[in-house]
Structure 1
């Protein structure tokens, strides 16, 4: 029975807000996804950024088969006590040798913990979908991206991005909006695989996220009005309910890589399959 640790960087109020909007915190979404993929797994959720969060020793972290870092509104480049606690946790994960995976802010936390840098996106945010992601030469044969076509779209919603990978970082995928869409990081005794997009999310959760950030999307020029955002959100919700609907796929401009759950989750599935070989830098 695998033991997984899910580390969510949402703060208590952010977790409560997400539960009210989407029914789950980011950590609870990850746990649900992992249990669907590995029904016998023992999944623990922790919140390292919280002021009263228990500290995990390297030995305690090494008892887990893998660590997963969630997305969140956390801005890793801000010097706050919450960010400092999250980075300290990630450095302990690297030192423990336990393989780790993260998406969105999870990737950014791993990058910053290993000595790279994160910034606010200078041009535009990605919201709903990250378009035309393509593997780099290093990514084409990397097991994280096994099964992905030459170019694909993925669920995404972020206004921050990786500015520079740390030493030991390998760029695996990019698109026009964000250079670092997927990466491997080797630091201390650990190996991290991560993506800027969200393979753990359901289409319905993206619909809720879009509605919750309508003002930001309008300000960023991605929508003209709240009605535009609502219309896009309704399409995501409808495709969530009926992923085979060809008309909805056409309206959103997506294919099976986005519409079908197993294909959206490729990176998580690939990581789970390879995690035992990644322990202690393997």
Structure 2
């Protein structure tokens, strides 16, 4: 699919919160003025999407998006992020990010499990003791910032979900991608075929295409148990209402209460 990360989130939010007005911005773009905390405080919630940026690099784009995230924290507006969004919030609050080296999570993160703190946290409410989720990333959180809470992990990526509090703001984030469809997973596999082959996850282009075709077919026919079985997936990934649970929980437990409180004040 040719849809951007921002467009993906906007489409999902239109489904989860019909009638919500969304404003898409590109804080890493040096040609655009950054919104400050006063501007951001007028929003009900902020979503930080995936990104090709590597937060351990000192680039103008990285500095801008970190500055933006610090303004989000200072505004007090609830925020949510996936993949690079979690990494942005981590660095903005004083943590660190690193390359995964030879390791990869490509297509799906497997056997994610809530920590003791995560089992009782509303971000993961409704998730089972272990679950899979769409995931495509080559960087990861190396160290969470002071005061952050690790909510979920797996054997490949230690920080799969976290709550980060900084400067009066609260952020919920995940390393995986609850917002993307299986169609987008298939497109990501095809885009990253060279990397998958180089890292030994596929023997050749044919292997990547075979996997992507299965994922695409399951997107088009989510009730086909044979496809889900071949991919080792269950309703936690296949069913949209389960796959997008963290975004829904964020809206329910942080955005709507904050909006109600603002309306009363």
Q: TM over 0.5, yes or no?
A: yes
Match of 1:239 among 218, 222, 232: 218
Q: Is the 8 A contact 2:112 2:152 kept in 1?
A: yes
Match of 1:190 among 150, 155, 169: 169
Q: Compute the displacement of 1:34 (Å).
A: 0.6
Match of 2:12 among 26, 33, 42: 33
Q: Is the 8 A contact 1:191 1:278 kept in 2?
A: no
Secondary structure of the residue that 1:115 maps to in structure 2? coil
Match of 1:206 among 176, 185, 202: 185
Residue 265 of structure 1: aligned partner: 244
Residue 53 of structure 2: aligned partner: 74
Residue 17 of structure 1: aligned partner: none
Matches within 5 A, 1:102-141: 102-141=81-120
Match of 1:61 among 37, 40, 53: 40
Residue 10 of structure 1: aligned partner: none
Residue 141 of structure 2: aligned partner: 162
Q: Is the 8 A contact 2:55 2:91 kept in 1?
A: yes
Q: Could you give the per-residue CA deviations for residues 69-93 of structure 1, whole angstroms, max 9, x where no partner exists?
A: 0001111110000000000000000
Q: Is the 8 A contact 1:58 1:96 kept in 2?
A: yes
Unmatched runs of 5 consecutive residues or more in structure 2:
none
Residue 45 of structure 1: aligned partner: 24
Q: Could you give the per-residue CA deviations for residues 25-82 of structure 1, whole angstroms, max 9, x where no partner exists?
A: 1101111111111111000000000011222121110000000000011111100000
Q: Distance in 2 between matches of 1:278 and 1:73?
A: 31
TM-score (norm 2): 0.96
Detail structure 1 runs of 4+ shifted over 2 Å in the superposition: 276-280
Q: 1:157 to 1:177 in 2, by over 3 A?
A: same
Q: Is the 8 A contact 1:65 1:275 kept in 2?
A: no
- Of 189-198 and 50-59, more deviation after overlay is shown by 50-59
Secondary structure of the residue that 2:186 maps to in structure 1? helix
Unmatched runs of 5 consecutive residues or more in structure 1:
1-21
Give me the CA root mean square deviation. 1.2
Q: Is the 8 A contact 2:36 2:68 kept in 1?
A: no
Q: Is the 8 A contact 2:76 2:168 kept in 1?
A: yes
Q: Is the 8 A contact 2:102 2:199 kept in 1?
A: no
Q: Compute the displacement of 1:23 (Å).
A: 2.6
